[in-house]
Amino acid sequence: MQLTIALPVCAEVLGLDPDDLLEIEPQRLSAGNPNIFIAVRDKNAVNRALLDLGRLRKLKGAERGAVCVFVFTPTTEGAYSRMFAPDFGVPEDPATGSATGPLAAYIMRHKLITNSDGTRFHSEQGTAMGRKSILYVQVNGDHGAKSIEVGGHVTAAAEGTMRL
């Protein structure tokens, strides 16, 4: 579903200045969980972003379902990002594999990839919350059908052993 979301509204909902955002239309994409992707100018803006829960409905517009808000900046490696999902009970997620495939599609659509072939990159996420994760993306296929592979490394929050 394509939503038209004004950049000043995105800035307001994230507690940022409108000049912090790139002039790229935010878009709602999904690979299971619906995400609203918002591109900002630099890592500092990503780190300063704080989702205002009282204003979240302004991003949703007429869409009343649950959404995740994915804020990122393009980097030479791919993207530096944060993902907020209070509608799903997750204030901030340190590594969102289900959002990384759609992020790849969004980045490719807007030609934000700077590597030679635009098919491989990584997304650094969770750094602002002290749980740095690196998610790798490989896009396979030509102009027709494409597949996107996602994998990576995360910072463990817990470890345990189970005996049955």
Residue with tokens 């803006």: 45
* Residue reference for tokens 């959002």: 99
pTM: 0.85
Q: Which residue has the tokens 């878009």?
A: 27
- pLDDT per residue as tens digits for the range 13-66: 999 999 999 999 888 887 778 889 999 999 999 999 999 888 888 777 656 778
Instruction: Give domain 7-153's CATH number out of 3.20.20.370, 3.10.129.10, 3.20.20.70, 3.10.310.10.
Output: 3.10.310.10
Q: In the beta sheet, which residues pair with residue 164?
A: none
Distance CA 100, CA 114 (A): 17
By three-state DSSP, how is residue 58 classified? helix
Write out the two tokens for 32. 């299971």
Cα-Cα-Cα-Cα dihedral sign, residues 65, 71, 89, 96: positive
